[in-house]
A and B are shown apart, each in its own frame.
Chain A
Amino acid sequence: MTETALEAIGISKRFGGVQAVADLSFAVPAGSITALIGPNGAGKTTVFNLVTNLFLPDAGEVRFYGDSLRDRTPGEIAALGLLRTFQTARIFPGMTALENLLAGAHRQVHFGAAWQMLWLPPALREEASLRRRGEALLDLVGLSRFRDVAATSLPMGAQKLVEVCRAVMAGPRLLLLDEPAAGLNDTETAELAALLRAVRDIGIPILVVEHNMSLVMNVADQVIVLDLGHLLARGTPLEIQHDRRVIDAYLGVEQEAV
């Protein structure tokens, strides 16, 4: 029995007359990549916003490693180690690629502003260590040539990688990725997939919303399909590919295994 990283229990959300999410339950096991797919408007982004408390659910509860997230602010949830990325890469403009990564490591800074301003050795050591790790991560994903370049001037593929790396630098206990492959070509998507698998295998579970089936089929351990706010199907990528309901509601045609 593996531990459950994230568990949604009967969450619901209405907007006006629209039931965006209806009595939805799912779990993200630790050490897994779970993909959340479904037609546009199925409620995937709403699920993300409910999990991070950007919206409060009308009913139901979200648990993160067993703790209820009900009364937590989005900031507190991030501080717990539940980190999300955004549909359009929200790289910090005006900062270099390395600085973006270091900003991600903010959660790990123990010697705060006062220590830094007085140039005290513990803060200096921490800063040097962060820098070393940031540079190592850029090197690892093949972006070291962009270290001191304004991150927003990077190609889209590199920006998406920087965004994922920035979240990884925070040392998260769960990553929520919102369409990380949107706008990437298939080659860039393959690079992203390799990174995601590695992130999973160092013990960071991932919940990913994605339309790019080649990414989903490549990396997901479990696929959850939403339609009109309801759970339509759940299973391994292989099962989902051949699920009649999923094909009708979402895929349109049977997907080739990639």
Chain B
Amino acid sequence: MLELRSLESGYRDLTVLHGINIEVRTGEIVALIGANGAGKTTLAKAIAGLLPVRRGQIMFAERPVERLPPRERIRLGMAHVPESRQIVAPLSVADNLRLGAYAQQHKLGEDGIKRRMAAVCDLFPPLRERLEEAAGNLSGGQQQMLAIARALMLEPRLVILDEPSLGLAPALVAEIFRLIVSLREQGIAILLSEQNAQMSLAIADRAYVIEMGRITLAGNGRELLGRPEIAERYLGVGTAAAADPRAVEAQHVRLVHGLKAILHDG
């Protein structure tokens, strides 16, 4: 469904992505794991068309799209759930959903939009009850639902989720992840970009690790979960500090002494 070939992109005077190769197939969850600043959000923006592609290709639904404006890519069935929920707070939930289908509004017509809204609300019953409320009044979890629901208004073939678990309570994170799995069952291709390596690797069919704008590891989700270098870098286990209680203690003593000296000086 989506294939990136040696993609190079970035900001005005800064190249962030250096030759990214990624493939997402229909009915597959692909996780993208990486630290902050590794280039996950930049990648999402480049795929969406919000950043120029310097080199390489973006194939979507069997055609190159890297020269198409964002709107055209969305029309082809590429939907985004951007980082940190990005809803339009003063507009009602219904208007937010309506804008989700903005790129297709002429094709769909008013009836088509209403139909899709009903279908999306079946997936997210709490939204139906609050359709006329301002989106900003929803709780954090409901806002994340709205962001996903809005993406589904397009009846997309591919959904790109950027950090859907950010700032959500554990129980809600689990719910969102269950939902992502259910999207896969509907045959939607999913690119899931996450800090939360543990959970995203657990549901992913395949995964890529991105570091400093390069893909450094790729493989099956569960297989990556077992790799020691993943555990060390992204799961916080196996680091020198965590492994050795004496090292932890030494670091602690160093920090305490340092802080004392700094705060009681002068």
Contacts and interface: CB of A to CB of B under 8 A. Distances in A.
A and B touch in their complex, CB below 8 angstroms? yes
Interface of A: 37-41, 87, 126, 129-130, 132-133, 136-137, 140-141, 155-157, 168-169, 171, 179, 182-190, 194-195, 197-199, 201-202, 211, 213-214, 249-253, 255
Contacts of B174: 252-253
Given A140-B258, A185-B197, A40 B140 contact: yes
Nearest to A179: B167
B13 to A, nearest CB: 12
Nearest to B238: A187
A40 B139 contact: yes
9 contacts: A136-B258, A169-B262, A185-B35, A185-B234, A186-B235, A186-B236, A186-B237, A187-B234, A250-B169
A213 B170 contact: yes
Nearest to B143: A40
Contacts of A182: 166-167
Given A183-B166, A194-B252, A252-B170, A202 B234 contact: no
B37 interface: yes
A137 B233 contact: no
A85 to B, nearest CB: 15
B36 A38 contact: no
The SS class assigned to the B binding surface is helix
A76 to B, nearest CB: 22
Interface of B: 35-37, 139-141, 163, 166-175, 195, 197-198, 232-237, 239, 241-242, 248, 251-252, 254-256, 258-263, 265-266
B252 A183 contact: no
Contact of B168 (A40, A136, A190): A40
Contacts of A188: 35-36
Nearest to B233: A187
Nearest to B84: A88
Given A155-B35, A187-B236, A201-B252, 6 more contacts: A137-B258, A155-B36, A185-B236, A187-B234, A188-B36, A194-B251
Contact of B236 (A126, A190, A201): A190
A88 to B, nearest CB: 8
A194 B248 contact: yes
Main SS of the interface on chain A?
helix
Listed from nearest, the 5 A-B pairs whose CB atoms lie closest are A186-B236, A252-B171, A198-B255, A156-B36, A41-B139
A242 B64 CA distance: 52
Contact of A250 (B170, B233, B251): B170
Contacts of A179: 167
Contacts of B198: 186
Contacts of A87: 167
A184 B195 contact: yes
A196 B202 CA distance: 30
A202 B140 contact: no
B261 to A, nearest CB: 7
Given A39-B172, A40-B141, A87-B167, A186 B35 contact: no
Nearest to B255: A198
Contacts of B35: 155, 157, 185, 187-188
A181 B166 CA distance: 10
Given A133-B266, A157-B35, A190-B241, A199 B171 contact: no
A108 to B, nearest CB: 8
B236 A197 contact: no
B208 to A, nearest CB: 15
Give the most central of B35, B197, B254, B263: most A CB within 10 Å. B263
Contacts of A184: 36, 195
Contacts of B169: 37-40, 211, 250
A253 to B, nearest CB: 7
A251 B169 CA distance: 7
Nearest to B140: A40
B256 A194 contact: no
A41 B141 CA distance: 9
B255 A140 contact: yes
B199 to A, nearest CB: 11
B69 to A, nearest CB: 29
Contacts of A214: 236
B167 A251 contact: no
B265 A211 contact: no
Contacts of B234: 185-187
Contacts of A186: 197-198, 234-237
Contacts of A132: 265-266
Q: Which of A39, A129, A157, A214 has the most CB of B within 10 A?
A: A39
Nearest to B237: A186
Contacts of A40: 139-141, 167-169, 172
Contacts of B166: 182-183
Given A136-B262, A184-B195, A187-B239, A251 B170 contact: yes
